Structure 1
Amino acid sequence: MTNPTPASGKMIIRPGRVEDAETIHAAILQLGTHIGAPEDVKSTVDDFRTYGFGANPAFSTLIAEVDGAFAGLCLYFPIFSTWMGRPGVYVQDLYVEDRFRGHRIGERLLRRVAALCRKDGGAYLRLSVDTDNEGAIAFYEKLGIAWSSYEQTQKILGEAFFAFADAEDEEQS
């Protein structure tokens, strides 16, 4: 039996819902495994419920389904460029199930996110890609989503972040 694909089955893209939290989390775990860092995924299903579907959502998701089966997701949130003076969208995670790869699902998810952003006045899309994920890099470049040679991502996390944030409280005292 062949796997359903957009060519042979009906594909829909819909907004994620709170009842999708387990599926979203499972996809993120799969993404971590795909890039060789499953131990780096610390999130829980409850994190996705709380921060994606609570009173003040920190992100939105689009879910792709083929014949009712989960095929992929795009997790994103709004951003703003002070230099352009325009809103944009940041794609945090793009995931397509292995059996649905090569059927333009990732491209369709990204195009839908870009269209939603544009509808709200947005003018750009940003994302980060694991430097060792050559397949993803080639995929993004094929779509015209190019590497930015003049920027570098910096980050602080975990205990270092908490200490950094707590130092603000100490300075206010």
Structure 2
Amino acid sequence: MKLIAAHLSLEHKVTSTVEDIRQHGFGQRPAFKGLIAEVGGQFAGLCLFFDSYSTWAGRRGAYVQDLVVDPQFRGSGVGEKLLRETIIYVSATGGQYVRLSVDAANAQAQRFYEKMGLEWCREERIYSIGGDAFTTMARERG
């Protein structure tokens, strides 16, 4: 997701490789699904998502991990089409919602999602653990 990282000047945070994506996205148990947009045979954008489940709502849905449009195609409707097609796919496969998170500094993406009708969930905060802290906790026995 180097395009997103470059847009946010966070390239140093991307550690995944093409092989990582190949290994985890394909095979018997793919970790994600993706829709790719092309314009004139050229890559224009990608929406990468995975299955989700809400215990509160008792419903299936999807979490959009990445929605990215190549800079030369921004403003041309590619992002809107990718998000709409993702929602159509999720609905057709039994899902009833889509969730995603946006980098706090990415005001352009926030405006886009709000324009598309997505709402910011003020009641929630996203927490994460990774790296050494994750490895340490995964090895601990309570």
TM-score in same-fold range (> 0.5): yes
What's 1:50 paired with?
A: 23
The answer on 1:107 being equivalent to 2:63 is: no
Query: What CA distance in whole angstroms lies between the structure 1 residues aligned with 2:111 and 2:100?
Result: 14
Q: CA deviation at 1:29?
A: 1.0
CA offsets, 1:109-138, max 9 Å, x none? 011111111112211110010011111000
Query: What is the match of residue 72 of structure 1?
Result: 45
| Structure (1 or 2) with the larger CA radius of gyration | 1
Q: Is 1:86–2:59 an aligned residue pair? A: yes
Structure 1 residue 54 displacement after superposition: 2.5
Per-residue deviation at 1:145?
0.8
Structure 1 runs of 4+ aligned residues shifted over 6 Å read none
Displacement of 1:56 in angstroms is: 1.1
The size of the alignment, in residue pairs, is 142
Structure 1 vs Structure 2 CA RMSD: 0.9
Query: What does 1:30-45 align with in structure 2 at a 5 Å threshold?
Result: 30-45=3-18
Residue matched to 1:145:
118
1:73-118 superposed Cα distances (whole Å, 9 cap, x missing partner):
0110010001111101100001101111111111110111111111
One-letter code aligned to 1:162: T
Letter of the structure 1 residue corresponding to residue 68 of structure 2: Y
Q: Does 1:29 align with 2:2?
A: yes
Q: Give the Å deviation of 1:140.
A: 0.4
Match of residue 128 from structure 1 = 101
What TM-score do the two structures reach when normalised by structure 2? 0.97
Instruction: Give ranges in structure 1 of 5+ residues lacking alignment.
Output: 1-27
Partner of 1:5: none
Tell me the distance in 1 between the aligned counterparts of 2:34 and 2:95: 17
| Residue 166 (structure 1) shift | 1.0
Scaled by the length of structure 1, the TM-score of the pair is 0.80
Question: What runs of 5+ residues in structure 2 fail to find an aligned partner?
Answer: none
SS state at 2:3 partner:
helix
> Which one-letter code corresponds to 2:53 in the other structure?
F
Taking the aligned partners of 1:139 and 1:50, their CA distance within structure 2 comes to: 31
Q: 2:90 aligns with which of 117, 120, 137?
A: 117
Cα deviation, 1:53-88, whole Å, max 9, x if unaligned, reads: 132110111100011100000110010001111101
